[in-house]
Chains A and B, each alone.
Chain A
Amino acid sequence: MILAISSPWIICEYCDSVYRRPELEPHQKSYCRRCGAVLRRYNAMGVEQVLALSVTAAILLLFTNFFPVMRIGLRGLHNAATLWDSVLDLAQGPIAIIALVAAVAIIVAPLLQIVLLLWVFSFANAARRAPGFEFCMRLLESVRPWSMLEVCLLGALVAVVKLAGYLNVLPGLGLAALAALSVLLIKIAGRDIRWLWELL
């Protein structure tokens, strides 16, 4: 059993100012006096809640990947596309490398986030550190900026409007799942996961 390491000090990552760790009430945030950055937020979620939401996110991820985001129709012909289709389609053209960027942004990064969350939090739920805990936690932080489901959601809405001029466009089940998942991921895979370091 590893004893949790903590410090009486917190440091602002934007200007290097040092403060004594504040005790926060629900909904409170502490700000840096020197540069105005958010130092700490009150954390309202426990291990069980995050684990439950991660399971939900995993189910939604299956829906966003395997159900069409949109369907279109043109003179009796129909077509539908999932997120997979859009990445695979980019990969077939002469500029396949862009498919890699898109694949990371909308499939690989969210998938990795959810797998890591499930792994870390199912062990945390048993009050244990998962094997590779340090690595997983650091990876979660580095993956976060590359996960762009919320951008994809806006992109899907733009695509609907773009195509609606020539074709019949119907939003699919995947779009609803995408909307729910992008909100959920912001909530559970944000920076505030750092409290787990102090718990285990």
Chain B
Amino acid sequence: MSDPPYARAMNLRLCHGCGLACDLARVAERCPRCGARLHRRKPESIARTWAFTLAGLVFYIPANALPVMSTNILGGHVESTIIGGVVEFAESGAWDIATIIFIASIGVPATKFIALILLLITVQRRGAWRRKQRTRLYRFVEVIGYWSMLDVLVVALVTALVKFQKLGDIEPRAGILFFGLVVVMTMLAAMSFDPRLIWDGEGEHER
């Protein structure tokens, strides 16, 4: 079977609001069905994705270096970081929970940064290298996106629960703020990236 045609060759444009294939011979500016503005590619995709990714990387440093919560229970006082939380679970023998937190808090953000930077660089070089796999990588980044919010929500629940004044309490610390910002920034970065840029130029200079 031959490859399907591209929308640009058929003078069609995908509406991101509702998914309609808009015929550019009839409409140019806005989708006739949902009214969203039509773009050939997401506007300023590469610049925006770089900006959000780099902002995320900057926040990533305090997110890991600063403590995310402080625990006072029965006289003991602990300031724990993200990695500290994982180590604590692993040492107490709760390997399953340690693995979940490790994947959500360390694995997912790191994978997202590496994947986004890889996608940005390869798209800027307009390479033909493994287009299908790169598109799949982007979809993976999209899917794993919000799972790293796990730690923020755990801290929120735990601090609301443990409030016993003298006997013990748990308070949030600045690290969790930066961690939440990392998640938001990487989500915005993934949303700004246009995977169709991977395929632009296919069949023109190559083959």
- On A, residues with C-beta under 8 Å from B are 5-7, 9-11, 13-19, 32-37, 69-70, 72, 74-75, 77, 79-81, 85-90, 93-95, 97-99, 101-102, 105-106, 134, 137-138, 141, 145-146, 148, 151-152, 154-156, 158-159, 161-163, 165-167, 194, 197
Contact = CB atoms under 8 A, between A and B. Distances in A.
B123 interface: no
26 contacts: A5-B32, A7-B22, A7-B23, A11-B13, A16-B199, A18-B5, A72-B161, A87-B156, A89-B156, A89-B159, A89-B160, A93-B172, A98-B176, A98-B180, A102-B152, A138-B18, A148-B153, A151-B147, A151-B150, A156-B157, A158-B97, A161-B97, A162-B89, A162-B154, A197-B20, A197-B34
B119 interface: no
Contact of B1 (A9, A33, A87, A152): A33
Contacts, number: 207
B92 interface: yes
B162 interface: yes
Contacts of B18: 137-138, 194, 197
List the 9 closest A-B pairs by CB distance, nearest first.
A155-B153, A81-B160, A86-B160, A86-B156, A9-B21, A11-B14, A95-B177, A35-B135, A89-B160
B77 interface: no
A9 B10 contact: yes
Contacts of A99: 156
Given A11-B12, A15-B195, A161-B97, A151 B158 contact: no
A6 B31 CA distance: 11
B74 interface: yes
Given A18-B7, A145-B145, A158-B100, A138 B34 contact: yes
A138 B104 CA distance: 29
B168 interface: yes
B145 A162 contact: no
| B-side interface size class | 35 or more
Nearest to B100: A158
Given A141-B17, A162-B154, A163-B162, A9 B138 contact: no
A9 B24 CA distance: 13
B156 A90 contact: yes
A43 to B, nearest CB: 13
A79 B73 CA distance: 15
Nearest to B145: A145
Interface string B114-149: 000000000000000001100110110000011101
Given A34-B199, A95-B174, A134 B21 contact: no
A168 to B, nearest CB: 11
Nearest to B173: A95
Interface in B1-51: 1, 3-8, 10, 12-14, 16-23, 32-36
